[in-house]
């Protein structure tokens, strides 16, 4: 894996934004999947600045959501759809007809997942996938111990993940839905190019396990070691436990 360590959170955001902008400049109709969570907020802020300053356009790109809570409508402020509206779709000029969301309120979740996989396939697969990582090593909502070979599917969330996401539901872990839809690990691993992004000391342990530990369903992100084109963007804190060779990127 190509592991890049940056001096600061803003340098990580700038590095990831560079890569996203370059990918869309080279292939304006690219299929992108971008994550939710605290980590990518700085990336979206950086992309917003570049869109204004550099006239970057996402109008021809396809956007795919990575995961969503079950039973939570897109209008709910805790939904990932609401997050994406707030931080991505208001900042970047994605065309509404090319935004592909997962409907966690669908009456037939299996059919919804199949529909979503069909939409990815019609785009010829994901060109660029950006992932965060959960403290327990999850990617998307593929939790430790899940079946890690399938496509988009419904999962049960672990108590630790519900508590990590409590802020979206008034600070109460018990109000976080117990289930979610997520791109499966095979959906993720079929992406042509993957960027994994992590910042902060709290992520150092799961980053070390994902990049340098054994490939195991106990750490879903460790399956990224089997992909041929993964770039890892870390700040010094997130890289602090790493024992693999890394490239130090010197940016202000
Ligand atoms: C969430 C999401 C993931 C995200 C991860 C890390 O639960 N399902 O897609 O990458 O956890 O989030 P954060 O960046 O807030 O630590």
Residue 119 burial (CB count, 10 A) = 15
Ligand 1 centre distance from Cα of residue 149 (Å): 20
pTM, 2 dp: 0.95
pLDDT in tens, the chain (252 residues): 899 999 999 999 999 999 999 999 999 999 999 999 999 999 999 999 998 888 889 999 999 999 999 999 999 999 999 999 999 999 999 999 999 999 999 999 999 999 999 999 999 999 999 999 999 999 999 999 877 889 999 999 999 999 999 999 999 999 999 999 999 999 999 999 999 999 999 999 999 999 999 999 999 999 999 999 999 999 999 999 998 777 788 654
Distance CA 66, CA 184 (A): 9
Residue 6 burial (CB count, 10 A) = 24
Mutate to test the pocket of ligand 1, among 9, 16, 134, 177 (most ligand atoms within 8 A of CB): 134
Nearest protein CA to atom 9 of ligand 1, as residue: 140
Residues ≥6 apart with Cβ < 8 Å to 108: none
């Amino acid at each position: 894996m190509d592991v890049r360590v940056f001096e600061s959170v803003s340098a990580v955001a700038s590095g990831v934004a560079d890569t996203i902008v370059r990918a869309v400049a080279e292939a304006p109709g690219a299929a992108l999947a971008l994550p939710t969570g605290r980590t990518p907020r700085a990336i979206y802020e950086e992309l917003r600045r570049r869109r204004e300053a550099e006239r970057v356009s996402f109008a021809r790109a396809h956007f795919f959501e990575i995961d969503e809570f079950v039973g939570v409508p897109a209008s709910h402020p805790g939904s990932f759809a609401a997050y994406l509206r707030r931080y991505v779709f208001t900042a970047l000029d994605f065309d509404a007809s090319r935004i592909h969301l997962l409907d966690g309120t669908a009456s037939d979740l299996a059919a919804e997942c199949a529909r979503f996989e069909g939409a990815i396939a019609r785009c010829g697969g994901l060109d660029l996938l950006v992932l965060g990582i959960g403290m327990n090593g999850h990617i998307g909502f593929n939790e430790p111990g899940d079946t890690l070979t399938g496509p988009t599917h419904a999962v049960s969330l672990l108590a630790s993940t519900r508590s990590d996401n409590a802020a979206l539901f008034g600070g109460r872990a018990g109000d976080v839905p117990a289930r979610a839809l997520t791109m499966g690990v095979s959906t993720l691993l079929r992406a042509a190019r993957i960027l994994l992004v992590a910042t902060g000391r709290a992520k150092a342990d799961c980053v070390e396990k994902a990049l340098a530990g054994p490939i195991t369903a106990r750490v879903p992100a460790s399956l990224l070691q089997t992909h041929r084109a993964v770039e890892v963007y870390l700040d010094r804190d997130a890289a602090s436990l790493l024992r693999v060779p890394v490239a130090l990127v010197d940016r202000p």
